[in-house]
Amino acid sequence: MTAANMHHGSLDGEPPQRAQLFDWINASWTTQAIRSACVLQLPDWLARGASSADEAAAGLGCDAPALARLLRALATLGLCAEDDAGRHALTATGALLCEDHPQSLRAWALMAGGPQWQRWGELDQSVRTGCSHRRRHGGSDGFDDLATDPAAAEQFYRAMVEMTRSIAGAVVQAMNATGARCVVDVGGGRGELLAQVLAAHPSLRGVLFDLPQGLAGADAVLAQHGVAARCRCMAGSFFETVPEGDVQLLKSVLHNWDDARAVQILARCRDALAPVGRVLIVERLVADRIGRTPQDRDVARSDLNMLVALSGRERRRSEFAALCAAAGLALTGEAHATGAWHVLQARAA
Ligand SMILES: C[S@@+](CC[C@H](N)C(=O)[O-])C[C@H]1O[C@@H](n2cnc3c(N)ncnc32)[C@H](O)[C@@H]1O
């Protein structure tokens, strides 16, 4: 093996494409190594100070040799590092798995390696039938199960805050709030995006609208951003009615649903839109020509995730235009936010 191909984990004479394929095939180990570290609270333990595997194992109730192996595996990913005395320290990247890190990805790691894991394990069945894991196992596509499972709801809504936090700044920059007085975040979850919008526009008021289980925990997010006094939380279903406002914000909502239900949501937004108001759809856009960029992969991953988990899908710009038209809206503008994320603006047709 040469130094160069050792670095990429490929064998002498092996084409790099084969090594890349081998990596993709084995990608599951990273999901589970990271999830396990989070379940075991390993990052939070190491955040208190560098620790030997024995100390960490004693503190976390683990088998010491096995934990040493997990630590080594995490070190290969740059999430922790071992010094000459055999003590393991958290790196800056590993610190992103701590519960209280402002940019934490802990809940996302627990979700990807937990509930999503089982669904992806039956992707072939979802492709064969076109139905989500939930539907094939007797459930219905939607968020009802979270109403009766507080632990799953806590994990899901936290994960959404984490994911939305990383793109909210770019969305705030991309969205047009000119002349707006009241922004309704429809299916806004715990309100991470709305809170950042309100923080950036001190004259705006907000309404955070979601199912009751989505709003639990929203007060803390709004308070953290110092906008609680300008934001009202309202529980309800966007298939029935949506609070009135001159901006209706829909982030990562339409992609959860099939076309018929996405049109229903848009139609309820249109009903509640002030005369000069606009609906802002924040979603990843499927490129007209599919490529191999990280953005293409992010959209493809999310699209398949919608297939295995719900009835939804990622869509092209033209497909959003068709949904809007069916709901009495017309696309009137578009801005790029970051990666594959765009803000599409629609007004009453
Ligand atoms: C993928 S999450 C997006 C949350 C948030 N917009 C974000 O991007 O962080 C979808 C949201 O839709 C909400 N939702 C699902 N069904 C709903 C319904 N019938 N009425 C209102 N909200 C609903 C969920 O509770 C959840 O907060």
Q: Whose CA is nearest to atom 4 of ligand 1?
A: 189
Pairing label, strands 245-251, 273-284: parallel
| pTM listed for this prediction | 0.94
Q: Is the shortest distance between the CB of 255 and ligand 1 below 6 Å?
A: no
Q: Whose CA is nearest to atom 11 of ligand 1?
A: 187
Beta partners for 346? 279, 331
Contact between residue 265 and residue 237 where contact means Cβ atoms under 8 Å apart: no
Q: Is the shortest distance between the CB of 307 and ligand 1 below 6 Å?
A: no
Q: pLDDT tens across 273-307, in order? A: 988 899 999 999 999 999 999 999 999 999 999 99
Q: pLDDT tens across 331-346, in order? A: 999 999 999 999 999 9
Give the active site residues: 255
Q: Is the shortest distance between the CB of 164 and ligand 1 below 6 Å?
A: yes
Q: What DSSP string describes 182-213?
A: EEEEET-TT-HHHHHHHHH-TT-EEEEEE-HH
pLDDT of residue 49: 96
**Domains of the chain as residue ranges with CATH:** 3-95 (1.10.10.10), 106-348 (3.40.50.150)
Q: pLDDT tens across 21-78, in order? A: 999 999 999 999 999 999 999 999 999 999 999 999 999 999 999 999 999 999 999 9
Q: pLDDT tens across 236-281, in order? A: 999 999 999 999 999 999 999 999 999 999 999 999 998 889 999 9
Q: Is the shortest distance between the CB of 215 and ligand 1 below 6 Å?
A: no
Closest atom of ligand 1 to CA, residue 189? 27
Instruction: Extract the runs of DSSP E, i.e. beta strands, from the chain.
Output: 51-52, 80-82, 87-90, 182-186, 205-210, 231-235, 245-251, 273-284, 329-338, 341-348
Q: What is the sign of the dihedral through the CA atoms of 119, 157, 293 and 281? A: positive
Q: Is the shortest distance between the CB of 278 and ligand 1 below 6 Å?
A: no
Centroid of ligand 1 to alpha carbon of 43 (angstroms): 30
Q: pLDDT tens across 72-108, in order? A: 999 999 999 999 999 999 999 999 999 999 999 999 9
- Least confident span in 2-11, 89-98, 112-121, 294-303: 2-11
pLDDT range class, residue 8, cuts 50, 70, 90: low
pLDDT of residue 3: 47
